Amino acid sequence: MKKKTRMALVAVVLVATIGFVAYGMLNIFVDPYLSVDAVVENPEAYMGRTIQVKGELQPGSLTITADNVTIVIVGENHTITAILLGEVPDMIDGQEIVAIGSLESANLFLATQILTSCPSKYEAPTPP
């Protein structure tokens, strides 16, 4: 085998290996948003992992006590209760939120952070 052919083959194998490893690492460390329904319907797949659950804040579900903060996140067909372990952001009933944390059971989520969308999207427009 010629030296140039051998070098090209090594380069192709090296690039393919780096690409495969990078893709695998990306899947491990970057979890896309998961719907409430996907998490509730297949909880075993998400136990023990840090995940991001996306849904809407159920109206009237924000409960703040001396011990904890709980909310209910609504999906298309299911709901999940989240206990917030971090800072409480401003939230409006029906607002789209993303809870970042870990799944304790099919319907219980321990959130370390809650991300909210822009509240102006949910406010009534002011008349001119």
pLDDT value of residue 117:
73
pLDDT 10s digit of each residue in the chain, 128 long?
A: 788 888 888 889 888 888 877 776 665 555 678 999 999 999 998 888 889 999 999 999 999 888 889 999 999 999 999 999 878 888 889 999 999 999 998 889 999 999 987 655 545 555 56
Going from N- to C-terminal start, the domains of the chain cover 1-30, 32-121
pTM: 0.68
Chain centre distance of CA 86: 15
pLDDT value of residue 88:
85
pLDDT value of residue 122:
47
Reported CATH class of domain 32-121: mainly beta
Taking the C-alpha atoms of residue 73 and residue 79, their distance in angstroms, rounded to an integer, is 6
